[in-house]
Structure 1
């Protein structure tokens, strides 16, 4: 089962996703994809970690999620945006290369028999990016969101803490 959850910044995606995972598993996995970019980001990551109790297994993987063996588990993948950022930067801001790598990695990852709750951001719904790299990333994010949403069994859009069922 793949449950895709998207929405804007601070829309309640992570809280909703973690509750969904706890509703179906006693010991879910929290798969964090963020790099630590600076001290502020480190503090945000620590806040997320502190919000999860001992029922959770925490795994950190910046890019190569398909190497993880999570068969039979319930996994919260948080999040596509940070994962894509790593791929985008490491592919020297090449949208095509990053999208190709992301799709390949995602396809390999979902070959496992597991419950995947995958969080992403709808960054294209906000302010128009003022830089070329920002505009390219918004396109990359939008295309990957569409790709994942099509593969998902269920899709939810979070708006102001409210889950809206899309699929």
Structure 2
């Protein structure tokens, strides 16, 4: 089952996803998709790690999400935005190719019997990107969010720490 959780920055997505995972299992997995870009980013990652206790098993996987998820796992994937960034950079900012590769990888998750909780960001609802590359990434994110939400069993949007049921 796919659970899709989206919202703005600092909207409560991660806390909500982690609590949901712990309601299903006392030994969930956490799949971190981020590359470490700089020291500030490392601090943000460290803060997320500190939020999880010994019940969690952490995996770092930049692109091949299905490779670390097994049958009956309860998994939080955090997050689509950083995962897409990896495709976007590795394809030299090719939106179509990035979307194609991300959809192929996401679709593999649909064949795994597991509780998969996917965190994403609604970046198109914020400030308009100032660069062409940023605007193209916003489009990529929006299209991938639609694809995930379409296939999710449940979809939730977080606003100011409050979950709003979309589906």
Q: State the TM-score bracket (shorter-chain normalisation).
A: over 0.9
| Consecutive unaligned residues in structure 2, runs of 5 or more | none
The TM-score normalised by the length of structure 2 is 0.98
- Structure 2 equivalent of residue 159 of structure 1: 159
> In structure 2, what is the Cα distance between the partners aligned to 1:134 and 1:66?
27
Distance in 1 between residues matched to 2:97 and 2:72, nearest whole Å: 31
Structure 2 CA distance for aligned equivalents of residues 11 and 112 of structure 1: 29
CA contact (8 A) 1:12 1:158 kept: yes
Segments of 5+ residues of structure 1 without an aligned counterpart are none
The equivalent of 1:125 in structure 2 is: 125
Runs of 4+ in structure 1 over 3 Å off: none
- Residue 85 of structure 1: aligned partner: 85
Counterpart of 2:120 in 1: which secondary structure?
A: strand
Cα offset for 1:166?
A: 0.5
Q: Please give the alpha-carbon distance, in whole angstroms, between the structure 1 residues aligned to 2:104 and 2:147.
A: 11
RMSD: 0.7
**Matched residue count:** 167
Aligned position for 2:76: 76
Indicate whether 1:147 and 2:166 are aligned. Answer: no
1:59 lines up with 2:48 in the alignment: no
